[in-house]
Amino acid sequence: MENDGRIKVIPRRTPESAAMVESVKRAMTITAMLNRLTFNDTDEIRAVFSDLIGKKVDDGFVLIPPFYTTGGSDLAIGRNVFINQNCTIYDLGGVDIGDDVLIGPNVSIITSGHPLEPSQRHAAVVAKPVRIERNVWIGAGATIIGGVTVGENSVIGAAAVVTRDVPPNTLVGGNPARVIRSDLQV
């Protein structure tokens, strides 16, 4: 499925802005509990993370705390997903992570930001969805920006900054990320 290009704009001092702040407060409370757990607390990590996103994760889900998010309710996790330590997912725009995805340490998936125009920067939050398709591997320290779809079986190289869609079966790396190989075999 292609990223549908939805853009969410939340102006300051509105009911939507107040709801966003409440969602952040809720996420901060839950992630504080999550981040007190250790690698050996797998079942409890799954339970707390399920509460965070509002949906039960499967028994193949593995997360190594710490983990950070600004919401959780706009985050969808497939089966058999691994998230390494110190990852940040700002999911206001929506983040959809497919089955069998591997996410390395220190990865950031950021769907939200502010308007570019200096006079408008403090006026609103702007968010775009991110879709990570099946069997993707995201290397350590990579950053994926809102509005991006990462195609099935692709690899995001360590420390890459992904600002554009990544085709299926492709290795990308660099800042900004560019195609290194486009022939990854299943």
**Which of the residues are catalytic?**
114
78: amino acid identity, one letter: G
Q: Taking the alpha carbons of 111, 8, 97, 82 in that order, is the dihedral positive or negative?
A: positive
Q: ∠169-173-174 over CA atoms, to 5°?
A: 160
3-state secondary structure of 20: helix
Burial class (CB in 10 A: 0-12, 13-18, 19+), 129: buried
182: amino acid identity, one letter: S
